[in-house]
Chain A
């Protein structure tokens, strides 16, 4: 993988981060060094191995579909000034 400043900018855009030029330069260098070391993973054979997304096998856990008490509207809104008429204000999603 050839990590260039353009690649770093593309990843940052996907991750919703605005990086300065010096951050792009630094993270590009870091990513190069890290991925170069992590290339050791190419040397292990895992073709017939199942992935472990958790360390311990899990079963599906279901609960009764019952209505429970939730937080009040004023509690949900108390951490933000960006609300109006009991609703959160959000940025425009269509430009």
Chain B
């Protein structure tokens, strides 16, 4: 099989004469050092990046907004800090932000027309922490409206559907589709800040051929995230290389008094312990999920998985088959009942008052005005999920649907916990197929669409860390493998991913 080299990443590294000190890093560390030491003119560099971003956007529709003025203002500040040797740990690193994460004074709409014009008065905590270390925000990336989609074809009314850079007739994956595109094509040091509820980071990572990483639920504060489903939403990252994620995780993770579900523990301990982790990797016990290698999964996807498994075995890892029957039989209904129930309450706030879309209120009644605004500006998928979620929590149905799903979720979490009692890492394909064409997607019913999430809803329901990593190509379309570890074991996951990256990119046996 053709090796899953991240061709764009290699091109970028060569062009910039950076030596890749290890497979863990795509040159971001060197770039930051060059900024901090004053070797790069930050303002001129950002101007060039903005120009490139506009070109990518013209070709692939990846941005909802490119915030040139704000990025240049940040660049000027950093330039001054560099003169006084005060530049932050991420000085000059280019960041894009999924449209559902608030950036102060930059339009943030979750790619929904109902929020058009909304410019937050505050930064999300994750953004605040990144800015403090002088990362530069260059734009907001397009997504399925409020995160409601698997392919990023459910963007809001008036937004453009992003195109897969490997084949523009195909979808990018969703809901973080714009983030997947810019991560794949960016010819500059870049990390995408994305978000997952049921697979929204891993799906576009698999279809666009990049790394997508989601931490344990609560590891990163959700303050400033436009909610889809609070018990499932997690901010994470997309990058060209596993190692790029580590400094961002260290800086953004940790307790935030503005989010009661954020975890106490910080993630400061990564950088110094990589070599020790490499030794551990060779002894890892890996469980390959049986249900992810059978019916409904494309033969090409299974073939790529089997080849990767062989490489892991040859590397000294023990790989065994493991079954998650409850998760795979009940995961989809459990996820969709819980997520749409939460979404239907979260979206109740969009009523045409105080911010977002509105029309003259005088003379109208409460119900007619709210219904008018919501019906005009929500897209079809949002309406469908609001209806499903409202039904699942209505009197007479709540126990049979919402409460039942919450109980099944307990059984799913227990199933993962039992399996992690034996295995260090679980693996499966990320998506059952390669990136579909837009015409193929049009033929799917809503239920068939939802079923495409079969491999990714489990780790999201359980809130465990998980990530997609490229493992090959099939007819120029990338294939992704998903890896999962127990709660709080991001370190083990990143270490394993680095090993996979090394094996796949170098073709090591």
Residues in chain A within 8 A of chain B (CB atoms): 1, 8, 11-12, 14-19, 23, 27, 30-31, 33-34, 37-38, 40-41, 44, 46, 49-56, 58, 61, 63, 71, 75-76, 79-82, 88-93, 95
Interface residues of B in 342-371 (CB under 8 A from A): 344, 348, 351, 353-356, 358, 360-362, 364-371
Residues of B within 8 A of A89 (CB): 361-362
CB of B412, distance to nearest CB on chain A (Å): 8
Whether B407 lies near A46 (C-beta < 8 A) is yes
16 contacts between A and B (CB under 8 A): A16-B370, A16-B374, A18-B375, A30-B447, A31-B387, A33-B446, A38-B336, A40-B333, A41-B404, A41-B408, A52-B407, A52-B409, A61-B257, A79-B119, A80-B354, A92-B366
Whether A80 lies near B407 (C-beta < 8 A) is no
Q: Identify the closest chain B residue to A49 (Cβ).
A: B407
B487 located at the interface, meaning its Cβ lies under 8 Å from any Cβ of chain A in the complex: yes
B67 located at the interface, meaning its Cβ lies under 8 Å from any Cβ of chain A in the complex: no
Complexed CA–CA distance, A78 and B17 (Å) = 48
CB of B474, distance to nearest CB on chain A (Å): 29
CB of B153, distance to nearest CB on chain A (Å): 16
Known interface pairs A30-B445, A34-B450, A41-B333; A55-B231 also in contact (CB < 8 Å)? yes
User: Which residue from B121, B217, B356, B366 sits with its C-beta under 8 Å from A54?
Assistant: B217
Known interface pairs A40-B329, A56-B487, A95-B365; A80-B447 also in contact (CB < 8 Å)? no
Whether A50 lies near B407 (C-beta < 8 A) is yes
Known interface pairs A23-B383, A44-B326, A82-B361; A91-B408 also in contact (CB < 8 Å)? no
CB of A43, distance to nearest CB on chain B (Å): 8
Q: How many residues of B contact A (CB 8 A)?
A: 74
Interface centre among A8, A46, A52 (most CB of B within 10 A): A52
Whether B121 lies near A40 (C-beta < 8 A) is no
Inter-chain pairs besides A15-B386, A55-B217, A80-B354, 5 sampled, C-beta below 8 Å: A27-B383, A46-B411, A55-B461, A56-B261, A79-B119
User: Which residue from A11, A17, A37, A88 sits with its C-beta under 8 Å from B353?
Assistant: A88
Q: Chain A's interface: helix, strand, loop or mixed, by majority?
A: loop
CB of B410, distance to nearest CB on chain A (Å): 4
Whether B326 lies near A17 (C-beta < 8 A) is no
Residues of B within 8 A of A19 (CB): 375, 383
Complexed CA–CA distance, A34 and B369 (Å) = 30
Known interface pairs A17-B383, A38-B333, A40-B330; A51-B371 also in contact (CB < 8 Å)? no
Chain-A contact segment, one of B139-147, B268-276, B388-396: B388-396
- Nearest first, the 9 closest Cβ-Cβ pairs linking A and B are A55-B463, A51-B406, A38-B333, A79-B355, A46-B407, A91-B369, A61-B260, A15-B390, A18-B375
Whether A30 lies near B384 (C-beta < 8 A) is yes
Residues of A within 8 A of B383 (CB): 17, 19, 23, 27
CB of B147, distance to nearest CB on chain A (Å): 17
Whether A27 lies near B364 (C-beta < 8 A) is no
Complexed CA–CA distance, A54 and B462 (Å) = 9
Q: Identify the closest chain A residue to B326 (Cβ).
A: A44
Interface centre among A49, A79, A80 (most CB of B within 10 A): A79
Residues of B within 8 A of A75 (CB): 121
Residues of A within 8 A of B374 (CB): 16-17
CB of A23, distance to nearest CB on chain B (Å): 7
Complexed CA–CA distance, A79 and B399 (Å) = 39
Binary CB contact string for chain B from 111 to 128 against chain A (1 if under 8 A, 0 otherwise): 000000111010000000
